[in-house]
Amino acid sequence: MDAARRTAADWFRSLRDQITQAFEALEDRGPGTAAPGRFEVTPTQRGEDGGGGIMSVMRGGRVFEKVGVNWSEVHGKLAPRAQAAMAARGVPGMADDPRFWASGISLVAHMQNPHAPAVHMNTRMFWTPGAWWFGGGADLNPCIEYPEDTQHFHAVLRDACTPHGGDYYDRFKAWADEYFFIPHRGRARGVGGIFFDDLNTGDWDADFAFTQAVGAAFLPAFLPLAETRMTQPWSDADKDQQLIHRGLYAEYNLVYDRGTKFGLETGHNADAVLMSLPPLAKWV
């Protein structure tokens, strides 16, 4: 399993590199005469000996108002609260041995143009002495929805899922619809995508191949939408609508998101964990 963990962590990092390069290339083609945005790259550390990662954040670009693409590889012992949460999910061995290892990539993009959708993507591997599993997914969060954009995003994800499991897309789409729902608002935070967690079929190679397919599908699913919408004219009313919708995103991530809770409870860099929050938001 040591070799498998190394393979997974290295692949997540390579995906991070690919996405940041693609986003900076999109910035070069973006509208306006201001200098294109570039990522600020900061190493992160979890305690003295718990691993860390890379936090990459771009702010105030031509296309991206704020985007974070983070990679991490962390290890240690789960705090009692996180250990109890894992045990409640049925993770084997949690009561006896709280050691863990985790690696993954996490991405959230908030766009300058209100017509361009915000987006989230995450893929990860988690290991404990009693189990290992993969998780992740991607979901689209437009403040002004275009049905053709939603259709394209879902079609690319469906094509990524189908070779790995005939029911994967339907199962994981339904899971995303449930997971990204905001109970106190009675609505979804966006137009969905796919979400999966605790994936362990007993075949590590197959599960990792599926996780790679999900990560590799992100750029084909999202970049055409960003490129189409980044030059579309917008009004003050459109921007106001975007800021209000970002409030929903912030509420969800601070109250319900499992990854946010886990990152904070396990002592990871708080700025890296909370990079998903929008730069500006509005409540009415």
Catalytic site positions: 120
Rounded (5°) CA angle 80-55-19: 120
Helix intervals (H) in 29-139: 80-88
CB 37 within 8 A of CB 74: no
Question: What tokens does 258 get?
Answer: 């499992």
Alpha carbons 131 and 100: distance in angstroms, whole number:
10
The one-letter amino acid code at 218 reads F
Q: Find tokens 């290992």 and name the residue.
A: 132
Query: Using CA atoms, how far apart are residues 141 and 187, in angstroms rounded to an integer?
Result: 12
User: Cα dihedral sign for 118, 207, 129, 49?
Assistant: negative
Distance separating alpha carbons of residues 211 and 134, to the nearest angstrom: 7
Q: Which DSSP symbol is given to 189?
A: S
